[in-house]
Amino acid sequence: MQENRISFEDLPKKDQVRLCAVYGSQPKNGYTAYRIEYVRELTPYEAWFFGRGNFLSPSFLTQTLYKLKGTLSPLLFNRILRDYEAQEDVLRTNYCDIGDRVLAVVTKERKNTEPVIYNNLQGREPEEIDEMLSKFSAAEIRYPFDVEKGGLHRIFVFHTGPDEYAVLVTAAQIILDRFDIRKIFSQLLNLPEVEYSEVKPVLQSGHMESKMHEYWKKLLAAPPQSNALPWELENAPQHSYKQRARNIVLSGELFSSLVEESKGNRMMMMAILASTWGLLLQTEGRLKDLCICLLVPNQNMQKEEAWRPFSMVPVRQTLAKDDTIDSLLKRQFQQMLVSRPYACLDWESFETFLGKGKKPFNHFLDFYDFLSEEKPYSQQSAEANGGVVSRRSWDSRSTKLSLYFQYTKTKASIIMLYDEASFPPGIGDRIAKTYTLLLQQMLTDIHKPVDVIQENLLARLHSEKSMQAVYKEEEKARLQHAVSTVQILQGASSGTTQHFVQAGTLRTYFEGDRIEGTDRDFLFVAEGKLARSIEDGEGWYCTLDIVKDGAWINETVTLEERKATLSVEVLSERAEILVVSKEAMENILTQHPSLYKKIITYAVSQLEKYQRLWAQS
């Protein structure tokens, strides 16, 4: 790619202006946060991701879990990764739309790369390790990448046994034609570097066989006209995207009902869950006919085609006048059974069937994990060059909303990713609540007519709409309650607590999530249970303690120079974190100096606790 390199100074003035707007000024001398080394035109592989906005985006991510055999030192791993980053431009590459085209932008050094997190899981039961890896893997889906300015890979390392490590790598697919973590494994363990097969355009549209073409053409004939989600804002900004995530965990009772109704058949479970979503859209959108798309594991995949991991299964859901919930579910299940062998990835043909010039699907229901039959980590063998345990892919930005369904023997859950700019505030909680309510009604009253279930749902939605003003007051009350639980504010004046209410915001996290901002904001547990881990000096994170409601998460944020790095993970199903910026906290302390004494008292009590634990250890 040497011949494509263009220095910043050689770019036309208008291109320089656009790049400076994104990466800051580029003085020849002096500091700049993002020093551009050069830019270049996109390769054909990269351009492919920017060429179609209807199915994939440059934010299409691939996550691979490796099982590594050998001895891994965090310090050595970090050094090799830094050297690799300095030598290989791919790990310093971002992508910027300058108006008439997209450029690849390579910076001199990567200053905002996510640090590699090392966790020591030795001594735990195999089932517990599998569960923890599953939680970390699912949590990664909820964290997007910033293709324009951020790092495009994240790495977690878990010490799972003697000479055995799990390495979880999440990366933007757009860089995976030039980045393979196993090259780092080879250097780390002094192994000869092996040849890796060339990465193909991972989801290049396939071509249907004639039988597939005829089947889908018939199923999708005379497609429904509506293509909008019922909650979309009419005047949503077109080029502003801010990802939000909502985790939906089915209650134990609801999960048991789902398993019982489906008789443990996962295809039937999928039919129930997908049909519930379809009925929700039909009820709120007043639709009789609907077409949604499921993503499922690629059953037709040959071993050498592992780069094409899943297939598309369009589903047509049409309501008949005399439908009961039972008849609807059986009809949809039968359709999915028949359609599954015809699953493919030829979205260009689907686009033709559903109408040229418009997106064939504006959201997806991803059942790849839900239906996957891969062996768990503990049942697979470790390899010196890193054996692949599992691989999953998802796109965090190509659609305004997507649902990722997951299943274990004890629970079912859904990760919902959506564009905050395209929907009204609180839409994540509203959809989660309405979906689970409808699912519960359908499983409870499975022989009732569909229109009765819809009428009940509409009546409830109407009632909730009239309560919106009450909900806003409840939000304020939630924040006031969160502040009232903070331990360092116990006994503080009403003026102090009111300033916290004005300055604070609540963030919602879910099981397995990592808490952000431990080095820049004051963070307090409003609700939930979290595990705090601290780096031991050699790179491994060891559990420090468990914190609950009212606890101050990151006392060391007050230090200008910190000797230890803190990592915090959510243990409960859901956690609410009260966030107060450092600047806001400084203002509060200036106006209420009595708070200094409470902070000192809290810090000393924490010191006493750890002295006691140290003496007992």
- DSSP one-letter string for 188-228: HTT-PPPP-PPPP-TT------HHHHHHHHHHTSS--S---
Q: How many CB atoms lie within 10 A of CB 293?
A: 21
Hey, where are the domains in the chain? 2-171, 240-374+383-466, 471-616
pLDDT reported for residue 523: 95
The SS3 assignment for 106 reads: strand
Cβ–Cβ under 8 Å, residues 315 and 294: yes
- The torsion angle over the Cα atoms of residues 483, 487, 490 and 495, rounded to 10 degrees, is -40
Average pLDDT value for residue range 397-417: 89
Per-residue pLDDT tens digits for 114-150: 889 999 999 999 999 999 999 899 888 888 888 999 8
How far out from the chain centre does Cα 266 lie? Answer: 23
Cβ–Cβ under 8 Å, residues 38 and 74: no
Share of the chain above pLDDT 90, in %: 44
Q: How confident is the model at residue 343 (pLDDT cuts 50, 70, 90)?
A: confident
Higher pLDDT among residues 2 and 598, named by residue: 598
pLDDT reported for residue 273: 98
Q: Which residue from 426, 361, 422 is spatially nearest to 395, judged by alpha carbons?
A: 361
Residue recorded with tokens 């806001």: 584
Q: Are β-strands 540-547 and 117-120 bridged in parallel, bridged antiparallel, or unpaired?
A: parallel
Cβ–Cβ under 8 Å, residues 140 and 154: yes
Structure tokens at 500: 């916290």
Per-residue pLDDT tens digits for 421-455: 889 888 998 999 999 999 999 999 999 999 999 99
pLDDT reported for residue 303: 44
Cβ–Cβ under 8 Å, residues 8 and 23: no
Rounded Cα distance, 4 and 608, in Å:
61
pLDDT reported for residue 560: 84
The size of the chain, in residues, is 617
The SS3 assignment for 395 reads: strand
pLDDT reported for residue 449: 96
Segment (H or E) for 542: strand 540-547
The SS3 assignment for 135 reads: helix
Return the amino acid letter for 488.
Answer: I
Rounded Cα distance, 211 and 391, in Å:
30
pLDDT reported for residue 372: 84
pLDDT reported for residue 413: 93
Structure tokens at 214: 């005829």
| 471-616 has the same fold as 2-171 | no
So what's the architecture of 240-374+383-466 in CATH?
A: 2-Layer Sandwich (3.30)
Structure tokens at 414: 């859904």
Would you identify the CATH topology of the domain 471-616?
A: Jelly Rolls (2.60.120)
Sequence-distant (6+) residues with CB within 8 A of 227 are 358, 359, 362
Q: Which residue from 225, 226, 237 is spatially nearest to 423, judged by alpha carbons?
A: 237
Per-residue pLDDT tens digits for 232-275: 888 777 667 788 889 999 999 999 999 999 999 999 999 999 99
Phi then psi dihedrals of residue 533, to 5 deg: -125, 150
Segment (H or E) for 384: none
pLDDT reported for residue 302: 46
Rounded Cα distance, 385 and 186, in Å:
6
Sequence-distant (6+) residues with CB within 8 A of 616 are none
Average pLDDT value for residue range 541-549: 90
Confidence check: pLDDT of 51 > 80: no
pLDDT reported for residue 426: 84
Segment (H or E) for 557: none
Return the amino acid letter for 382.
Answer: A
Rounded Cα distance, 475 and 35, in Å:
42
Average pLDDT value for residue range 149-166: 93
The contacts found for 409-412 with CB under 8 angstroms, 24 or more apart, are 410/255, 411/249, 411/250, 411/252, 411/255, 412/249, 412/250, 412/255, 412/258, 412/269, 412/273, 412/370
Per-residue pLDDT tens digits for 22-44: 999 988 877 888 899 999 999 88
**Cα distances (angstroms) measured from residue 298 to each of 201, 204, 347, 497:** 16, 14, 15, 55
Average pLDDT value for residue range 332-345: 92
pLDDT reported for residue 304: 41
Q: Which residue from 505, 499, 519, 450 is spatially nearest to 476, judged by alpha carbons?
A: 505
The SS3 assignment for 272 reads: helix
Segment (H or E) for 64: strand 60-69
* Most confident segment among 16-30, 188-202, 321-335, 375-389: 321-335
Q: Which residue from 69, 84, 162 is spatially nearest to 116, judged by alpha carbons?
A: 84
DSSP string across 479-533: HHHHHHH-GGGTT--HHHHHHHHHH-EEEEEETTPBPP-TTTEEEEEEES-EEEE
Q: What is the CATH number of domain 2-171?
A: 3.30.559.10
Q: Please classify residue 396 by burial: count the beta carbons closer than 10 Å to its beta carbon, then call 0-12 exposed, 13-18 middle and 19+ buried.
A: buried
Higher pLDDT among residues 29 and 413, named by residue: 413
Q: What 8-state DSSP symbol labels residue 16?
A: H
The 10 Å CB-count burial string (b at 16+, else e) for 9-35 is eebeeebbebbeeebeeeeeeeeeebe
pLDDT reported for residue 31: 81
Rounded Cα distance, 592 and 28, in Å:
46
Average pLDDT value for residue range 312-318: 93
Rounded Cα distance, 607 and 288, in Å:
64
The 10 Å CB-count burial string (b at 16+, else e) for 574-613 is ebbbbbbeeebbeebeeebeebeebbeebeeeeeeeeeee
Q: How many CB atoms lie within 10 A of CB 472?
A: 12
Average pLDDT value for residue range 360-389: 88
Cβ–Cβ under 8 Å, residues 65 and 388: yes
Phi then psi dihedrals of residue 155, to 5 deg: -135, 135
Cβ–Cβ under 8 Å, residues 540 and 74: yes
Confidence check: pLDDT of 192 > 60: yes
Per-residue pLDDT tens digits for 554-610: 998 988 888 888 899 999 988 999 999 998 999 999 999 889 999 999 889 888 988
